[in-house]
Amino acid sequence: MVHKTCFHCGLDAETSGIVYDDKPFCCHGCKTVYEIFTIHDLTCYYDFQQAPGTTPKEIEGKYNFLDNSKIVDQLLEFNDHTTQIITLYIPNIHCSSCIWVLENLNKLHAAIRSSMVNFGKKTVRITFVNENLSLKNLVALLSRIGYEPYISLEDYSIGKKHIDRSLIYKLGVSGFAFGNVMFLSFPEYFQVEEFWLEQYKHLFRWLMFAYSVPVVLYAAQDYFVSAYKGLRSKILNIDVPIALGIVVLFVRSSSEIVLDTGSGFFDSLTGLIFFLLLGKFFQQKTYDYLSFERDYKSYFPIGVTKINLDKQEESIQVYDIQKGDRLLIRNEELLPVDCILIKGKARMDYSFVTGESKTVTKQSGDKLFAGGKQLEGSIEVEVLKSVEQSYLTQLWSNDVFKRDKTLGFTNITNRISKSFTLSILTIAMVATTFWLLTDSSKALNVFTSVLIIACPCAIALAAPFTFGNILRILGKNKFYLKNASVVEQLAQINTIVFDKTGTITVNKETKINYEGVQLTEDEEALLKSTLRGSNHPLSRSLYQILNTNNIVSLDYFEEHLGLGIEGQHKDHNIKIGSEPFIGHAKNATTLNTSVHIRTNNGYKGKFTFHNKYRKGISKLFNQLKKDYDLVILSGDNAGERDNLTKLLPSKTKLLFNQKPEDKLEYIKYHQGEGAKVVMVGDGLNDAGALAQSDVGIAISENINVFSPACDAILDATKFDQLYKYITISKSAVKTIKWSFALSFLYNVVGLYYAVTGQLSPLVAAILMPLSSISIVVFTTVITNLLGRTLK
Amino acid sequence: MSVIYILLAISIAVAVIFFIAFVFAVRNGQYDDSYTPSVRMLFEDEIVKEKNNKSVLTKKD
């Protein structure tokens, strides 16, 4: 048989048997999308690439909360009761055909006026007429074509977002002024005593003055603010000499043209500010679609279904949930509050609260905690605590989450800035005193010249360009940093703490060992056939590894929830499950999860599930052990201790049964002893530790799926590269130190002119851009060379 | 040489017009997303053209 894949999404379509228009489809969802596309003449969608869509996941009633007008009002960007505009976050946007489909939504439904994709942010902004299409139906339409929007509690609280574009405006103003001032000052560079030049130079000078005023007052204001803040907290940051240089440049230039003693330094002034802002802009650009500030709000749903006293279902906002309410939680829905199970059987997946991948089965009357995901049918629960008071949400009231990590950190530029500023002031004083004694007319000139030429433009540019470029290079290698200062902090660490589950182990795969009597071929076929009917995660993973091909149809099958499964074919029967279920004495010493097998021939043996470790972990730890202290903090039991001690270098500390608070305290304690800690983790259970550590790295199998608040996100496939990434950060800091040396050379040359009182506007206009540009070129070349070593 | 006043006026006027255009572009959000337009630009025309000669049936499985 020819291997068939779904025409729409590319998944296996062998077993589904759905054929439409001579094309195989894996599910009715994909068929529907194909139909929609054919009807609306959009089939060239399929020309873009093979199998462009991704699997739609339809869940009945999932978007019922969009019937609640209060919730809808909060989500809409614009609403005049006929036309509505909404911006939706769609994690599935991943290629150019996604942009194309989403921007052609108006062909799928007449009520959609227009739609616009922002690929970087993975959002689509849709304008639609709500008389013909409600928001709920719009969302359903999007889900049906495979672009399910992600709506979380976070969208609710943010409201209408304000975009800060001031840096672009400032850059525009200074660039505009810089270009024009350059033109106007050009004639005077040549100092020709021409008649018309003499006549018009005053006009030219005043024009330059006019251009410079907005640059100094508007574009450069951040430097004044920052310098003022620095001085007030008694820190000589790099913005102090910059602000001083700008003020002196402006005052001296203005007085020169007023007194008609020279042409001023307006060209250098505007150029300086333009280059500085360019550096800022370069550093600021990061990854729009990755959020590093997530808390529980981005995981939580925005609305839930409440069951009223008269058994009516109603969608309510999550913040409106009160103690004592009855809620209906559907399959795949997340519990937003702590509650008691009333009706139905719950199988909760707490993986992003605890990091533990095993599901927990609960019976009615049991307590359920917020953050769990229901995996099996619908349940009814009674609320015990409101959202803010639930166990999970309280973790965020810890002070760690309010702390700004950059505050306590002095970056490399500011560290040298202090001695730099002091030495410049000393040089200026000494030179001025010297000239006061010899030729007092030149003293003021020399004093201002020193401050102008020493303005640390090149120094201030070195760090933004180096770190900005490193940030981009690491991003290309799937290591996404929150901002440039993370590179620097990463270069200083000496301790690395790892979480176990999901961080050094692989989430999806497990290693399964069989111990016991060899199964016969018939038994194996029966085992596989029985497992096929069960949806339990352990059954699924066991089913995947068995390579029997002949599936038999069972005469009898029953799943006992939380215990195991039973199957019969002809006169063979099989029981698969926990020890008590199959009637085997419980062995208390094993800590690992195992599944036991009994057939009508008696007890056969057990399959034991071991964690599967990421590729290259041993090598990575051996590379790291030379320079860093290594620790593993696990929330799990000690079942994997033996495996880990075999795998990892002997000096690695292993700690098990660590609660989220324990992890946080452990890191805090070691920081108190002077350690600079990197925490590598994944789930929400590591959120506290990630926030407390100097650099928190979240490991993610899929970067579009949410990871907790952190400083960096590392794609799981690049986990074994971590050592290289830390090394490159160290080299980046070294590069910056070299550029400081280089800019110091320029300063020596400049200071010679300044101290001897020969600084002309021409020298300044050449020296300042030259030093800045050569620093930018130097750092860019070096960092790109460093980036090559990664490949 | 008073022609220089005219030239100056023109040069400033042109510069200011471009500056205003820049401010409007930023305000309209043109600088918010610097990637998508580069992809979008390549769509539309190409699709209308392809509609006739390249249909679904030409797609290889």
Q: Is B49 on the interface with A (CB under 8 A)?
A: no
DSSP state of A534: -
| Helix%, strand%, coil% for chain A, nearest 5 | 50, 20, 35
Which residues of chain B neighbour A44 with C-beta distances below 8 Å?
Answer: 47, 50-51, 54-55
- As a whole number of angstroms, the distance between CA A273 and CA A251 comes to 15
Q: Where does the pLDDT of residue A289 fall: very low under 50, low under 70, confident under 90, or very high at 90 and above?
A: low
Check residue A5 and report its DSSP letter: B
> Residue A35: its chain B contacts at CB < 8 A?
none
Q: What is the 3-state secondary structure (H, E, C) of A12-42?
A: ECCCCCEEECCEEECCHHHHHHHHHHHHCCC
- Is B31–A121 a contact, with Cβ atoms under 8 angstroms apart? no
Residue A311 has pLDDT above 80, yes or no: no
Local structure of residue A439 (DSSP, 8 states): -
Taking CB atoms and an 8 Å limit, are B12 and A7 in contact across chains? no
A736 residue type, one letter: I
Per-residue 3-state assignment (H helix, E strand, C coil) for B1-61: CCHHHHHHHHHHHHHHHHHHHHHHHHHCCCCCCCCHHHHHCCCCHHHHHHHHHCCHHHCCC
Contact A163 B55 (CB under 8 A): no
Residue A58 has pLDDT above 80, yes or no: no
**pLDDT exceeds 60 at position B47:** no
Reading the block at residue A208, the tokens are: 């330059």
Distance from CA of A139 to the nearest CA of B (A): 22
Average pLDDT for A568-586: 77
Distances (CA, A) of A392 to A364, A388, A437: 21, 9, 73
Query: Which CATH code fits A478-506+615-730?
Result: 3.40.50.1000
Integer Cα distance of A758 and A450 in angstroms? 11
Q: Are A183 and B11 a contacting pair at CB < 8 A?
A: yes
Q: What integer pLDDT is reported at residue A214 of this predicted model?
A: 93
Q: What is the per-residue pLDDT for A60?
A: 57
What is each CA distance from B22 to A86, A210, A419, B19, in whole angstroms? 27, 20, 41, 5
- Mean pLDDT of the region A253-279: 88
Mark which residues 361-390 of A lie under 8 Å from B by CB.
none
A26-40, A464-478, A519-533, A678-692: the lowest-pLDDT one: A26-40
Q: How high is the mean pLDDT of chain A? A: 79
Q: How many CA atoms lie within 13 A of A401 on its CB side?
A: 18
Chain B residue nearest residue A165, CA to CA = B26
What pLDDT shows up at residue A11?
Answer: 62
Q: Which residue of B has its CA nearest to A175?
A: B19
Euclidean distance between CA atoms A679 and A659, whole angstroms:
15
**B39 CA: distance to closest CA in chain A (Å):** 7
User: How many percent of chain A have pLDDT more than 90?
Assistant: 7
Contact at CB, A168 and B26, closer than 8 angstroms: yes
A207–chain B Cβ distance below 8 A for any pair: yes
Taking the Cβ of residue A224 and every Cβ of chain B, the question of whether any pair is shorter than 8 Å is answered with no
Lookup: tokens for A226: 């920052």
**C-alpha distance from A199 to closest chain B C-alpha (Å):** 10
Chain B residues in contact with A121 (beta carbon < 8 A):
33
Residue A441 CA to residue A439 CA, distance in Å, equals 6
On whether any CB of chain B is under 8 Å from the CB of A103, the answer is yes
Flag if B19 and A117 touch (Cβ within 8 Å): no
- Residue A172, chain B, CB below 8 Å: the answer is yes
Residue from A213, A161, A165 nearest B23 by CA: A165
Q: Does A7 touch chain B (CB under 8 A)?
A: yes
Q: Which comes out higher in pLDDT, residue A585 or A167?
A: A167
A100 touches chain B (CB under 8 A): yes
Answer yes or no: do A100 and B23 touch at CB < 8 A: no
Query: DSSP H helical segments within A123-265, as ranges?
Result: 135-144, 153-158, 166-189, 195-214, 221-232, 239-259
Which residues, including other chains, have CB under 8 Å from residue A513's CB and lie 6 or more apart? A607, A608, A610
Task: Say if B30 is an interface residue toward chain A (CB within 8 Å).
Answer: no
Query: DSSP class of residue A480?
Result: E
Angle at CA of residue A23, ends A20 and A29, nearest 5°: 60
In total, chain A counts a number of residues equal to 791
Q: How confident is residue A683, by pLDDT bands cut at 50, 70 and 90?
A: low
In angstroms, rounded to a whole number, what is the distance separating the alpha carbons of residues A566 and A656? Answer: 35
B1 contacts A103? CB cut-off 8 A: no
Q: Name residues 428-487 of chain A within 8 A of B (Cβ).
A: none
Average pLDDT over residues A25-45: 64
**End-to-end Cα separation, chain B, in angstroms:** 75
The shortest C-alpha distance from B59 to chain A (Å) reads 7
User: Nearest 5°: phi and psi at A340?
Assistant: -110, 135
Q: Hey, how many other C-beta atoms are within 10 angstroms of the C-beta on A265?
A: 29
Residue of A nearest to B52 (CA): A44
Residue A21: pLDDT over 50? yes
Chain B nearest C-alpha distance from A29 (Å):
19
**pLDDT score, position A213:** 94
Q: Specify the higher pLDDT residue, A153 or A147.
A: A147
Is residue A315 within 8 Å of residue A303, measured between CB atoms? yes
Predicted local distance difference test score (pLDDT) of residue A270: 92
Contact B33/A at CB under 8 A: yes
Please, which pLDDT band fits residue A625 given cuts at 50, 70 and 90?
confident
Q: How far is B55 from chain A (nearest CA, A)?
A: 7
| Res A407: pLDDT | 57
B-interface mutation test, from A41, A43, A94, A122, most B Cβ less than 10 A away: A43
Q: 10 Å Cβ neighbour count for A183?
A: 14
Residues of chain B found within 8 Å of residue A5, distances taken between Cβ atoms: 61
Residue for token pair 């200062």: A485
Length of chain B: 61
Superfamily of structural domain A508-613: Calcium-transporting ATPase, cytoplasmic domain N (3.40.1110.10)
A419 is written with which tokens? Answer: 């001695």
Complete DSSP assignment for A363-406: -TT-EE-TT-EE-SS-EEEEE-S-GGGSHHHHGGGSGGGG--TT
Our CA-based measurement puts residue B56 at a distance from the nearest CA of chain A, in whole angstroms, of 6
Instruction: Kindly list the distances between the CA atom of residue A92 and the CA atoms of A57, A98, A759, in Å, as whole numbers in the listed order.
Output: 12, 8, 59
Asked whether A479 and A714 are in contact (CB, 8 A), the reply is: yes
Contact (Cβ atoms closer than 8 angstroms) between residue A46 and residue A94: no
Helix or strand or coil: residue A632? strand
Asked if A504 and A614 count as a contact pair (C-beta separation under 8 A), the reply is yes
**Is B4 in Cβ contact with A5 (below 8 Å)?**
no
Identify from A100, A121, A196 which residue to disrupt to test chain B contact, counting B C-beta atoms within 10 A and taking the largest count. Answer: A100
| Whether A44 contacts chain B with CB within 8 A | yes
| Strand, helix or coil for residue A218 | helix
Residues 6+ apart with CB under 8 A from A602: none
Check CB contact under 8 Å for B1 and A199.
yes
- Pairing verdict, β A695-700 and A677-681: parallel
CB-based contact, B34 to chain A, within 8 Å: yes
Residue A4, pLDDT score: 66
CA pair distance A234, A228, nearest whole angstrom: 10
Q: Residue A774: what residue type?
A: S
Q: pTM for the complete prediction?
A: 0.72
Q: What percent of chain A has pLDDT over 70?
A: 81
Span A534-544, average pLDDT: 71
Contacts of A331 (CB under 8 A, 6+ apart): A59, A374, A375, A376, A377, A378
Candidates B6, B7, B31: best to mutate against A (most CBs of A within 10 A) is B31
Q: Which residues of A touch B43 (CB under 8 A)?
A: 99-100, 103
Query: Can you tell me the distance from the alpha carbon of A134 to that of A582, in angstroms, rounded to the nearest whole number?
Result: 53
Structure token digits, residue A429:
């004083």
Helical packing angle, A457-476 and A484-491, nearest 10°: 90
Taking alpha carbons only, the member of A283, A735, A291 closest to residue A469 is A283
- The two structure tokens encoding residue A20: 């439409």
Q: Domain A64-158 maps to which CATH number in 3.30.70.100, 3.40.190.10, 3.40.50.261, 3.40.50.300? A: 3.30.70.100
In whole numbers, what is the pLDDT of chain B averaged over residues? 72
Task: Write the pLDDT tens digit of every residue in A638-660.
Answer: 777 887 888 888 888 888 888 77
Chain A residue with minimal CA distance to B54?
Answer: A44
Whether A200 has its CB under 8 Å from any CB of chain B: the answer is: yes
User: What is the spatial distance between Cα A488 and Cα A490, in angstroms, rounded to a whole number?
Assistant: 5
Q: Residue A655 and residue A504: Cα distance in Å, rounded?
A: 14
pLDDT band for position A56 (cuts 50, 70, 90): very low
- Residue with token string 């009508």: A600
Q: Is A271 within 8 Å of A253 (Cβ atoms)?
A: no
Which residue in A has a C-alpha nearest to residue B16's C-alpha?
A176
What span, in angstroms and rounded, lies between the C-alpha atoms of A633 and A683?
Answer: 13
Count of beta carbons in the 10 Å neighbourhood of residue A181: 27
**Is some CB atom of chain B closer than 8 A to the CB atom of A47?**
yes
Residues A43, B56: C-beta atoms closer than 8 Å: yes
Q: Are A117 and A108 in contact (CB under 8 A)?
A: no
Separation between Cα atoms, residue A49 and residue A8, nearest integer Å: 10
CB nearest A44 (choices: B27, B29, B50):
B50
How far apart are the C-alpha atoms of A346 and A363, rounded to whole Å? 7
Residue A131: how many other CB atoms lie within 10 Å: 11
Please answer yes or no on whether B36 and A163 come within 8 Å at the CB atom: no
Helix residue spans in A396-456 (DSSP H):
412-438, 443-453
The minimum CA-CA distance between A718 and chain B, rounded to whole Å, is 25
Write the Ramachandran bin of A41: left for phi over 0, alpha for psi from -120 to 50, otherwise beta: left
Q: What are the extents of the domains in chain A?
A: 1-55, 64-158, 166-286+412-465+731-788, 478-506+615-730, 508-613
Non-local CB neighbours of A247 within 8 Å, separated by 6+ positions: none
CA dist., res. A270 & res. A213, Å (int): 10
Give counts: helices (H), strands (E), chain A. 27, 28
CA–CA dist A411, A283 (Å, integer): 14
Residue B41 in contact with partner chain A when CB distance is under 8 A:
no
pLDDT, one tens digit per residue, over A701-713 is 766 555 667 888 8
| Contact at CB, A47 and B35, closer than 8 angstroms | no
Chain B residues within an 8 Å CB radius of A176: 15, 18-19, 22
Average pLDDT over residues A405-423: 75
pLDDT(A189) > 50: yes
Q: pLDDT digits over A202-235, tens only?
A: 888 899 999 999 999 999 998 999 889 888 888 7
pLDDT at A505 over 60: yes
Residues A444-466: what's their mean pLDDT? 83
State which residue of chain A sits closest to B36, comparing Cα positions.
Answer: A119
Q: Per residue in A178-187, pLDDT tens?
A: 999 988 888 7
Where residue A310 falls among pLDDT bands split at 50, 70, 90? confident
What would the pLDDT profile of A466-497 be if each residue is shown by its tens digit?
888 888 888 888 888 887 788 888 888 889 99
Mean pLDDT, residues A161-167: 75
- The CA distances from residue A192 to A62, A197, A202, A263, A760, in Å, are 78, 8, 15, 13, 15
- B1–A196 CB contact, under 8 Å: yes
Angstrom distance (rounded) from CA A311 to CA A743: 75
Helix (H, G, I), strand (E, B) or coil at A102: helix
As a whole number of angstroms, the distance between CA A631 and CA A645 comes to 12
Q: How far apart are the first and last CA of chain A?
A: 41
Facing residue for A44 by CB, picked from B12, B19, B47 = B47
Per-residue pLDDT band for B24 (boundaries 50, 70, 90) equals very high
The pLDDT tens digits for A427-445 are 888 888 888 888 888 888 8
With CB atoms and an 8 Å threshold, state whether B31 touches A165.
Answer: yes
pLDDT at residue A331 greater than cutoff 50: yes
pLDDT band at A8 (very low <50, low <70, confident <90, very high): low
HEC profile for A345-358? CEEEECHHHHCCCC
